[in-house]
Amino acid sequence: MSEVSDKIINVSKTYLGPATESFLSRQCTAHLKVELASLTAAQVKTLAERVEKSAALIMDAAKAAELAKKIAAI
């Protein structure tokens, strides 16, 4: 894993629990066309936007927005 992806995983675990890595991996491969382990700092903002939209489908929209904001700050 890259340092960027490690940081994103750590921030996201509080919100997504054991599904964190699989959720983030799907977002990366489906929307960014990159593996989670290869994520770069330049792709973080786009990932944060995708996470907010997708996570809002499975959790409270405010929590999804909070998670996205934390990811974008990495």
Given a cut of 90, is residue 2 above it in pLDDT?
A: no
Q: How many helices (H) and strands (E) would you count in the chain?
A: 4, 0
The whole-model pTM stands at 0.94
Report residue 35: phi and psi, to 5°. Answer: -75, 150
Domain containing 47: what range? 3-72
Per-residue pLDDT, 1 = 78
- CA-based end-to-end distance of the chain: 15
How does pLDDT run across 7-64, given as a tens digit for each residue? Answer: 999 999 999 999 999 999 999 999 999 999 999 999 999 999 999 999 999 999 999 9
Number of domains the chain is built from:
1
